[in-house]
Amino acid sequence: MRTAEFSNDPAMRPARERMVERQIARRGIRDPRVLVAMRHVPREAFIAGELREFAYEDSPLPIEAGQTISQPYIVARMIEAARIEPGERVLEVGAGSGYAAAVLGQLAAEVYAIERHPELAALARWRLAAIGANNIEVRTGDGSRGWPEAAPFDAILVAAGGPEVPDILREQLEIGGRLVMPVGDMESQRLLRITRLDADRFETDDLGAVRFVPLIGEGGWHEDEVSGHAPRRAPARTRHAEARPRPESLLELIRRAAEPLPDFDDPAFGALFDRFADAKVVLLGEASHGTSEFYRARAAITKRLIEKHGFTSVAVEADWPDAATIDRYVRHGEPRDDAAPAFRRFPTWMWRNTDVEAFVGWLRAHNADLPAAHRAGFYGLDLYSLEGSMRAVIDYLDTVDRKAAQIARERYGCLTPWQKDPAAYGRMALSDEYKSCEKAVVAMLRDLLGKRLDYVAHDGERFFDAAQNARLVADAERYYRFMYYGSAESWNLRDRHMFETLEHLLQSKGEGAKAVVWAHNSHIGDARHTEMGSVRDELNIGQLCRERFGSDAALIGFGTDRGTVAAASDWDGPMEVKNVLPARADSYERLVHDADVPRCLLDLREKAHIALHAQLTEPRLERFIGVIYRPDTERWSHYAEASLPQQFDAYVWFDETTAVTPLPTRVLEGIDETWPFGL
């Protein structure tokens, strides 16, 4: 076995080690020789220069000739399944970039790799030579025919899906040899391991569902079938043809389970979600931060839960001080003279848009004739408002305890230089020359809570607001320090803060309090059933709510196939209305699109649709668009693997969606009634 360290870039080694640990070993790859091989082969050496920074992401990446380099886990999974021993001879069909061949070369004595694209074959030879892999031969040809003159092989790996295992490849196996290949239609397959027992007997193991590019050639699919110029053929059954399920069956299950959605203004829209009304917390997601249909659907569902089912809190993925301005408006409080206009921080369109404005107006009107104790409020869960929260704590203490206010000014003073750019504090706090403000902000929170009884006597609601701002400052200080360590901890700290804010909010409302949460799918879906949890050690509000509330938490995701979205190209960049690309063929979104249900609710719970729940549980790709959308890098920047029915209890689908309409951010003369959106 060859174990030389190929990479000349030491910066890549930690990323490669994390890839093996999180993406491969944690998913069940146990063969120590495979793990060692994956640690030693530099994936970045097989990727074009502009994409090398993504080399160790948990996804396939584009390479030359319009092809892809496989996801690292898939490479490891197939190689482990082949059970390669030292001294063996291996055939790889579909060499692509040459990366899998390089890993195989670490395990076997000889590797023969076939690639049908001459450009890729030449590049693979060059890349393999560059890293010193001298036991691998690459040639151009029809891989479905194998390499007869070099046969027999101890193992054959086929990195493309065919309608059946070609007999010619079976015949090139040594007795006892293993062939690993995806078999099925052109969009989904089963990964099979064929073991040759003797001259005429083969044993088949089904290793689970996979999705590979089509195997093109004499023993696979015809070129015109793949390009869509001819109908797909039904492959002839041979003595070795494998049975496989009809691909339409899952689409039929989706069609039968799909409950059409009426217009947003129709009371029947919200009534569809009455099945979740007994929950303590209903979490409503979004597949992007800039899609109008997601906001309008959440508004319709929330109105129903407030009007008919006793929900009194709307908690959103927004900063506490900004949301507090909205809350005073919807609950008919007096505007504060020192209150800044809401939602001025990037991305302004996320909450300062016409759909949110309409919901806020409805909430204010709903509350108008209710006693103060029964009015529904609007609250922020996020922790980015460092400057505003420090100001709010000091302003509050100025009214109830001037001595404590002075102490707060002194303690928060260490953060003052960075309040406009808190990320700069994170960089500075890493320096040995600078002592962090952690002790000061924690002491401020502790002292404030220690005087709870005294302060509550003045004004309980104002104390709760100040205490939450103090918690936010303490958590934000930690967040901006941790974000520079490059670990999952900064994400986890943020979502724990949002969950704990939700808990404090519910506690403040008393026994029986119920809340609706508006946040991105990545926050409200159970992270344990996505790459976030399984690969990156990240948790989120959805997971924490399930762990805390069990079945009293309802997690509802949202999705779309195509349309337009409001998003930026870079952080702090201008908002653009961008076209959303049609969903990938190997995604959940494409699956629902192909079921041809333009607007629907899918109840994903096992008790609602047993067969659908079971078939959808197998992980697929899911699209996540935040405030940044980059269509040109969509596969590796916006898709991740997830198990939809384990991630969500239900899924709300709009096949085509439109961008939100942002509100102006200048002062509007003569329309005070639009406060707090007049600025």
Question: Which residues are marked as active site?
Answer: 70
**Cα 26 to the center of its chain, rounded Å:** 18
What's the rounded Cα separation, in Å, for the pair 493 and 188?
38
- 138: Cβ–Cβ under 8 A, 6 or more apart, which residues? 95, 98, 101, 113, 114, 115, 121, 124, 125, 128
Pinpoint the alpha helices (H) of 83-155. Answer: 99-107, 118-130
Q: 302, 314 in Cβ contact below 8 A? A: yes
The token pair at 170 is: 């079976």
- Contact yes or no for 479/493 (Cβ under 8 A): yes
Nearest-angstrom CA–CA distance, 71 and 78? 11
Residues 387 and 395 sit within 8 Å (Cβ to Cβ)? no
- Partnered with residue 61 across adjacent β-strands are 69
Q: Is 622 helix (H, G, I), strand (E, B) or coil?
A: strand
Distance CA 131, CA 133 (A): 6
Answer whether 214's CB lies under 8 Å from 221's CB.
yes
Give Cβ neighbours of residue 547 (< 8 Å, ≥ 6 apart): none
The tokens for 403 are 């001595």
**DSSP code, position 388:** H
Identity of residue 677: F
What values do phi and psi take at 516, rounded to 5? Answer: -110, 135
Decide if 179 contacts 578 (C-beta within 8 A). Answer: no
Tokens in use for 161? 């899906």
